[in-house]
Chain A
Amino acid sequence: MKPEPSLSRAPGFWQTVGLLLSASRRRSVGRRQRQQQLLQFRTGSSTNTLGALGTLMFWAGMAFVNGSAAYVVHLVILQGQRIEAEQQGKIVVSDFFIDAVRDVEKAESQTDKERAHHDLEWAYSWEARDRSRDFGGSKEKNEELLLKAVQTRGSSGFIGSTASQPGIGHPATTRPFTSMLATIVLFGWLIMLIFQGEGLELDIQRRRNPNWEWLFSHPVRPGAVFLAEMLSPIAANPIYGTGPLFFGILYGSAYGPELGFVAAILIGVPVSVAAACVGKALEIAIMLRFPPHSRGALIGLMSWLGYTTMFLFFVAIVVTPIIVDASANLLRPLATAIPWPWFSWTIGLQSDGSLSFISGMLFCWVASIVMTASGVGVAIWGAQRGLAGSSAGSKVTSSTKIISTIPLLRNDPLYRKEILWFLRDRGAIVQTILIPVTVAGFQLFNLRVFLQSVQDSWRAVSGAAVVFGTYLLWILGPRSLASEGPSLWLAQTWPRGLEELMKAKARLWFLIATTLVLSVLALVIVRFPGDTWRVLLIAVGWIAFGRSMAEKSVTLVSMSSSSGEPEPIPKGRRYAASLGMLTFAIGILGQRWELAVVGIVYSWLTAAAMWENFRARLPFLFDPWSEKVPPPPTLMHAMIAISVLVEGGAVVTGICLALFSYLGDAAIAVSQALAFGAVATIVSLVSSSMLADRGVPAKKVWCWKTENAPVDSRRWWWSGDGQRDGYFLASLGIGVLSGLLFALLAKVYLLLLSQFGTFSEMIRSAQKQMESVPGLWVSYAVIAIVFAPIAEEYLFRGLLFRALDREWGGWRALVGSAAFFAIYHPPLAWLPVFLVGLTTAFVFKKTGRLAAAVVVHMVYNAVVVLL
Chain B
Amino acid sequence: MITEGSTSDTHSIASPPALVEVDQVTKSFGEKVALKDISFSVPAGQLCGLLGPNGAGKTTLFRLLMGILKATQGTLLIDRLDAFDQRVEVKRLVGFLPDEPVFYSYLSGWEILELSAAMHGLGVKPTMDRIYPLISRLRLVDDMHNYAEDYSRGMKKKLGLLLSMLHEPKLLILDEPTNGLDVESTHLFYDLMLEESHRGTTVLFSTHLLDQVTKLCSHAVIINGGKLVARGSLNDLRSTFNESDSLEEIFLKLTSKPQQK
Main secondary structure of the interface of A (DSSP, over half): helix
With a CB–CB cut-off of 8 A, which chain B residues contact A492? 66-68, 91
List, in ascending order, chain A residues with CB within 8 A of B196's CB.
none
CA distance A424 to B148 in the complex (A): 14
Interface range, B side: 35 or more
Select which of B69, B106, B108 is within 8 A of A626 by beta carbon: B69
Interface residue? A404 (CB, 8 A): no
Contacts of B163 in A (CB 8 A): 490, 493
Q: Given A292-B105, A421-B104, A425-B105, A625 and B92 touching (CB < 8 A)?
A: no
Residues of A within 8 A of B (CB): 37-38, 41, 205, 292-293, 393-394, 396, 413-414, 416-417, 420-421, 424-425, 483-487, 489-497, 619-620, 622-623, 625-626
B208 contacts partner chain A, Cβ-Cβ < 8 Å: no
- Contact between chains at A413 and B118 (CB < 8 Å): yes
CA distance A41 to B29 in the complex (A): 10
In the docked arrangement, what's the CA distance between A620 and B84, Å? 11
- A-contacting residues, B98-156, CB 8 Å: 98, 101-108, 111-112, 114-116, 118-121, 145-147, 149-150
Q: Report the minimal beta-carbon distance from A661 to chain B, rounded to whole angstroms.
A: 57
- Residue interface mask B199-223, A partner, CB < 8 A = 1: 0000000000000000000000000
Q: Is B89 an interface residue (CB 8 A)?
A: yes
Q: Which residue of B lies closest to A493 (CB)?
A: B96
Residues of chain A within 8 A of B102, CB atoms compared: 485-487, 489
Nearest B residue to A621 via CB reads B68
Given contacts A494-B91, A625-B30, contact A421 B106 (CB under 8 A): yes
CB within 8 A of B107: which of A417, A486, A493?
A: A417
Minimum C-beta distance from A495 to chain B (A): 4
A37, A292, A490, A619 interface centre (most CB from chain B within 10 Å) = A490
Not counting A417-B115, A421-B107, A487-B103, a sample of 15 additional A-B residue pairs whose C-beta atoms are within 8 angstroms of each other reads A38-B30, A413-B118, A414-B115, A417-B104, A485-B104, A485-B105, A489-B96, A490-B103, A490-B163, A492-B68, A494-B91, A494-B119, A495-B91, A619-B84, A623-B70
Find B115's partner among A393, A394, A416, A483 (CB 8 Å cutoff).
A416
Sorted from nearest, which 3 A-B pairs have the closest CB atoms?
A: A413-B118, A495-B91, A424-B106
Q: Which residues of B contact A420 (CB under 8 A)?
A: 106-107, 111
Pairs A–B under 8 Å by Cβ, sample size 22: A37-B30, A41-B30, A292-B105, A393-B150, A396-B147, A414-B115, A417-B104, A420-B106, A421-B105, A424-B106, A487-B103, A489-B68, A490-B116, A490-B163, A491-B119, A492-B91, A493-B96, A493-B116, A493-B163, A497-B87, A623-B29, A625-B28
* B101 closest partner in A (C-beta): A489
The answer, yes or no, to whether B178 is at the interface (CB within 8 Å) is no
B72 sits at the interface (CB 8 A): yes
Q: Return A470 CB to nearest CB of chain B, in Å.
A: 27
CA distance A22 to B121 in the complex (A): 51
Q: Known: A292-B105, A494-B91, A496-B88. Is A620-B70 also a contact (CB below 8 A)? A: yes
Decide if B95 is an interface residue (CB 8 Å cutoff).
yes
Measured between beta carbons, the chain A residues less than 8 angstroms from B87 are 497, 619
CB distance from B93 to the nearest CB of A (A): 9
B36: Cβ under 8 A from any A Cβ: no
| In the complex, chain B residues whose CB is within 8 Å of the CB of A490 | 101, 103-104, 112, 116, 163
B154-197 vs A, Cβ < 8 Å mask (1 yes, 0 no): 00000000011000000000000000000000000000000000
CB distance from A395 to the nearest CB of B (A): 8
Least Cβ–Cβ distance between A432 and chain B, in angstroms: 14
For the complex, give the distance between the alpha carbons of A491 and B66 in Å. 12
Q: Which residues of A contact B68 (CB under 8 A)?
A: 489, 492, 622-623
Cα-based distance from A490 to B95 in the complex (angstroms)? 10
Residue in chain B with minimal CB distance to A37? B30
A489 touching B98, Cβ below 8 Å? yes
A86 to B79, CA, bound (A): 88
Instruction: Determine the distance from Cα of A393 to Cα of B155 in the docked complex, in whole angstroms.
Output: 14
- A293 vs B105: C-alpha distance in the bound complex, in angstroms? 9
Shortest Cβ distance from A399 into B: residue: B106
CA distance A396 to B84 in the complex (A): 37
Q: Give the CA-CA distance A485 to B67 in the complex, in Å.
A: 19
By beta carbon, the residue of chain A nearest B145 is: A396
What CA separation (Å) do A733 and B229 show in the bound complex?
68
Contacts of A421 in B (CB 8 A): 104-107
With A and B bound together, what is the CA distance between A42 and B164 in angstroms?
35
In the bound complex, residues from chain A placing their C-beta under 8 Å from that of B29 are: 623, 625
Is the pair B106, A425 in contact by a Cβ cutoff of 8 Å? Answer: yes
CA of A493 to CA of B66 in the docked complex: distance in angstroms? 8
Cβ-defined contact, A496 with B101, below 8 A: no
Most chain A CB within 10 A, of B67, B95, B118, is at: B118
B12: min CB distance to chain A, Å: 36
B30 and A495 form a contact (CB under 8 A): no
Most chain B CB within 10 A, of A293, A484, A620, A626, is at A626
**A483 closest partner in B (C-beta):** B104
Please, which residues of chain A bring their CB within 8 A of the CB of B66? 492-493
Query: Closest approach, in angstroms, between the C-beta of B188 and any C-beta of chain A?
Result: 22
Cβ of B185 to closest chain A Cβ, rounded Å:
20
Cβ of B114 and Cβ of A413 under 8 Å apart? yes
From B100, which residue of chain A is reached at the shortest CB distance?
A486
Least distance between B48 CB and chain A CB atoms (Å): 20
Q: Which residues of B contact A485 (CB under 8 A)?
A: 102, 104-105
B residues within 8 A CB of A497?
A: 87-88
Chain B: CB-nearest residue to A421: B106
In the assembled complex, the Cα of A527 lies from the Cα of B91 at a distance in Å of 53
User: Of A205, A417, A484, A489, which is in contact with the most chain B CB atoms at under 10 Å from its CB?
Assistant: A489
Q: Which of A420, A485, A493, A619 gathers the greatest number of chain B CB atoms within 10 Å?
A: A493
CA gap between A79 and B68 in the complex, in Å: 62
* B69 near A493: Cβ-Cβ < 8 Å: no
Task: Point out the residues of chain B lying under 8 angstroms from A484, CB to CB.
Answer: 104
